[in-house]
Amino acid sequence: MSDQRSGGPKNPLADTSFENIEELPAILADVATKSQEMIREFNERHAVDPEWQETARSEFNMSEVVGLPEIFADLTRQLMNEPEHLIQAQQKYWENSLKLMGYMNARMAGQKPEPILTPKPGDKRFSDDDWTNEPYFDFLKQQYLLFTDWMQDVVGSAGGLDPHERRKAEFFTQRITDAMAPTNFLLTNPKALHETIETKGQNLLRGLEMAMEDMEKSHGRMSVRQTQEDAFTLGVEIANTPGKVVYRNDLMELIQYTPSTKKVRKTPLLIVPPWINKFYILDLGEEKSFIRWAVEQGHTVFAISWVNPDESLKHKAFEDYIKEGPLAALDAIEQATGETEVNAIGYCIGGTTLATTLAYLVQTKQKKRIKSATFFTTLLDFSDVGELSIFTDGGMVERLEEHMKDNGILYGHEMASTFSQLRANDLIWNFAINSYLLGKEPQPFDILYWNSDSTNMPAAMHAYYLRNMYLENRLRLKGGIKILGVPIDLSKIKTPSYFLATKDDHIAPWKTVYESATLLSGPTKYVLAGSGHVAGVINPPGRNKYAYRIRTKGGKERPNSPEEWLELSEEHNGSWMNDWSKWINRHAGKKDQAARTPGQKGLKAICDAPGTYVLKRGG
């Protein structure tokens, strides 16, 4: 069954234990014939489609925007200037290759040697038993891991690169090797081969159909499906907490939720979600909805639902999002409830917006509009933004600004592709394999439905945000930015604040969230939850997932570093919401007010929640 003289399998697929492997050539020939006809019809159908052609011409070129050619040109020059590093990496590669050949010879001889390389913890790509049990696939796996290590060694050994350029080179090298993984190709993916033989190639034909459907849905772009979109309807399965839209302007609809308790707390609760996403991440359904849970605790909950802007709103700036967002919401809530103060929550960029609003209110002598502020995974200090720094340097921002000039909009799918790159194996290749190689529909998953519901951004606002926050980190400076002519100074904010970070956050690193919390002058509570940017926040008490850390030991009132805070903290089981509930109730007043029904006071109901702005998909 093996050719031990060559150090590897002579006829690798034949040497596997696959049943009916001899049928594979005929199956693939039949698939090729049928695929050609499907592709021909597909191309003819779209050859004269003007919208399809326009999409092709204007398509977002990630490699150009991030300056990928320049990155690898610089890397090559540095390697040529110091060839000894390349030689050392090459020598290590050949030494390990020889070890791998020896390992394979031992396996083919019936021995059970220790593998030369194993996948890193958390790498789920090679979890199928065939990657370990079948010598052919075991060899492919280890050869790929060996090649990946060599690529990283080459990049890591290049002298002369500044730290940021090295980080970019390492990041995109990893993305390239991710794309080259044997799991991504039919003949080197055992699960896909099993499926092909078992279904006589129907998985591949169905996969091609789904690829075409995905391209048609996105007008020529390859946008891999992540969930069953027809499994969810806004207002039915998700975004279904009862309420009414009670206010609307160009940029947002304000939703007031229907109370579920006879008595409510005095101070209303305003939620400011990120304008880069739809608000219903906080209202995913009865079991996961933070909004529904907050209503059940006796809060009168209001939430901003941002518009999905088109070219008609391209002139809207960052300060417009302040003026027509939180500031307009405060006035509307006063009309709806008679209350001049609110407790406010900001999520991610919504938290940055909230903090900027707080500083504006302080500077304009309106300090009593917001009693307390809660920040979910929010950055105010942008000194370390983790892997997002790859996409936010000066050259990237300039090229992105140039790209946005044509339509005055950064389309949602363009931003979504950036975030997908941060977790390419999970958010791109995993779903591509499942759909296009295995021919299977993805499972219904509410968070991924929300994730695929992308939102556009006006160029003026987005460019301002990238430059002043990510690139120049001006928000943390006293008077570093101005809003409506007013200089912003975060250090003047004395509002009691609650900062929630998540330990595996790749968008708002927990240490940077801690540094952000230190910029405010008021009493601040910092909490570190488990999981990541979304799952760590969407963790209602009833699900009892993950855990959270709060400070329980003595020491300085405000530790100098996140590491020092961590030493003074203790882990608690369950949801962070249990802790937040105790904190917010001290600012919300007793639950002794008559429940407030939307549309029955100063503002009339416009329509049912979740409103109309949230329904616009695409971008």
Which residue numbers are catalytic? 348
Integer Rg of the chain from CA: 27
Nearest residue to 478 via CA among 488, 468, 470: 488
Cβ atoms of 205 and 35 within 8 Å: the answer is yes
Angle between helices 202-217 and 190-199 (to 10 degrees): 110
Positive or negative: CA dihedral 379, 382, 388, 392: positive
CA–CA separation, 128 and 126 (whole Å) = 6
Dihedral in degrees, nearest 10, Cα atoms 200, 202, 205, 208: -120
What is the number of other CB atoms lying within 10 angstroms of the CB of residue 608? 15
The strand pairing partners of 346, in sequence order, are 272, 375
Nearest residue to 557 via CA among 549, 547, 548, 568: 568
DSSP string, 61-105: -HHHHTTHHHHHHHHHHHHHH-HHHHHHHHHHHHHHHHHHHHHHH
Nearest residue to 607 via CA among 617, 615, 618: 615
- Both tokens assigned to 375: 């920040």
- Cα separations (Å) of 140 from 1, 7, 62, 106, 258? 18, 14, 30, 16, 58
What is the number of other CB atoms lying within 10 angstroms of the CB of residue 162? 9
DSSP string, 311-365: GGGTT--HHHHHIIIIIHHHHHHHHHHS-S-EEEEEETHHHHHHHHHHHHHHHTT
Cβ atoms of 339 and 267 within 8 Å: the answer is yes
- Both tokens assigned to 366: 């309106």
CA–CA separation, 77 and 105 (whole Å) = 39
SS3 label, residue 367: helix
Instruction: Give the strand order in the sheet containing 252-257.
Output: 569-573, 547-551, 524-529, 497-502, 370-376, 342-347, 269-272, 301-306, 252-257, 243-248, 607-608
- DSSP code of residue 238: B
Determine the number of helices (DSSP H) and then strands (DSSP E) in the chain: 23, 17
- DSSP code of residue 282: G
- DSSP code of residue 259: P
Positive or negative: CA dihedral 232, 411, 181, 19: positive
Positive or negative: CA dihedral 488, 494, 498, 500: positive
- Both tokens assigned to 3: 């050719």
